Homo-oligomer: A and B are copies of this chain.
Amino acid sequence: MPPKLMIPGPVDVEAAVLDMLAEPVQAHYGDEWVAIHNETLELLRQVFVTEGRVYMLPGSGSLAADAVIHSMFKPGDRIALGINGFFGIRWREIIEANGMTPVVIETPLDQPLDPAAFDRLLAEDPSIAGVAAVQLETSTALLNPIRAIAQVTRKHDKLFVVDAVSGLAGAEYRMDEWGVDATVSGSQKGLGGVAGIGLAALNDRAWAAVEQAGPARSWYLDLRRWEWYVQNWADWHPFPITMPCSVILALRVALQSLLAEGLDNRLRRCETLAQRLRAGLVEIGMELFIPETLMSPVLTAAYCPPGAKSADVVRFVAEQHNIKITAGFGAVKDQVVRIGHMGAMISENDIDRLLDALRHFVDEYAAQAARPDEG
């Protein structure tokens, strides 16, 4: 029996997704494939809630982030960047690797980014070209106030780029309505596909920036090349490379299932599961890492039972209960565990099984701690 995945992605995928992966290989060109490709893009637009351009970029979420930064900005550009965890730091690496300068607004791991701080920075420094932030900071389960940061960014007429890799289809996200200019995500988290596709969604403002961004510094990361194929090879092969058809077909099935359930219904389901899990954790004595109001509906970070280390908790629930959770990140790595409940495949029963496993851990741990006194 493979372990139940309750990590922050990849997620267990539905049987129909696995079945699709086992279908014979298809060619990545011609009428039939173009129809599948375009339908998948249309489903993705519904999930990003955008009417903008969407690209499926074989690779990963970070590849999509790299492509968006590479394509929308120029070397030397200054980009305001919110950092309150590992994936904020990832944005910094990507911005710097592209020869741009991140202007960092840092907040502690357990506090959301502050839209007012972005407002002040953008008012003080008109040289800043854009703003980057992470929606769900996977390293802490914290959900940043993307909508409010988008408002501030738009007020200053700057470009806003969001990492929604782990949050998309798990927390409310309305790209066009909120005024986010570009969003990156991946196939293997809330969308319920398997890993292998980075996603980039760009509105017309973002696209105008791409068109003005000067010479590319890469072949693959240049979104103008992807768009050229959309425009010029539309009927045959609307992308520049061999697409991983199996992974895209799997993603399409997952998206169809997600949209059949309904995006809002999925989000509500995630919230209900999150509440059940968090109430149980508190009962067990596992304090939440951040207040529930700051936490995303699809990922929970909680302190270990008093005295215990995250590695021990993770190993125990894996070995004794066949459930995979993971440790915290950065300074709280040893004290915190992270529990993913994203995607279609988490049920109340899974939540209860995990809570039983954690209760079991607490009992065993207490018994072990008691043992020296018995001797």
Does B97 contact A216, Cβ atoms closer than 8 Å? yes
Write out the residue numbers on chain B whose beta carbons fall within 8 Å of the beta carbon of A28: 10, 195
Q: Are A217 and B59 in contact, CB atoms less than 8 angstroms apart?
A: no
CA distance A21 to B247 in the complex (A): 10
List the one stretch of A12-20, A114-122, A139-147 in contact with chain B: A12-20
The residue from B11, B75, B98, B195 contacting A245, defined by CB atoms under 8 A apart: B195
Flag if A66 contacts B220 (CB, 8 Å): yes
A70 touches B196 (CB 8 A): no
User: With A23-B18, A25-B194 in contact, do A66 and B246 touch (Cβ < 8 Å)?
Assistant: no
Given known A-B contacts A25-B11, A220-B221, A196 and B247 have beta carbons under 8 A apart: yes
Across the interface, name the chain B residue whose C-beta is closest to A247. Answer: B196
With the chains together, A77 CA to B332 CA distance in Å?
A: 46
Chain A, interface residues (CB within 8 Å), range: 35 or more
Chain B residues within an 8 Å CB radius of A211: none
A224 to chain B, nearest CB (A): 10
**Residues of B close to A23: CB separation below 8 A:** 2, 18
A244 at interface by CB-CB < 8 Å = yes
Chain B residues, Cβ within 8 Å of A245: 10, 194-195
A246 close to B196 (CB less than 8 A):
yes
The 10 A-B residue pairs with the shortest CB-CB distance, nearest first, are A196-B244, A22-B22, A97-B219, A217-B217, A60-B241, A21-B21, A2-B24, A195-B244, A94-B219, A66-B220
Residues of A in contact with B (beta carbons under 8 Å apart): 2, 5, 7, 9-13, 18-19, 21-28, 57-63, 65-66, 69-70, 75, 93-94, 97-99, 186, 188, 194-196, 215-222, 225, 240-247, 324
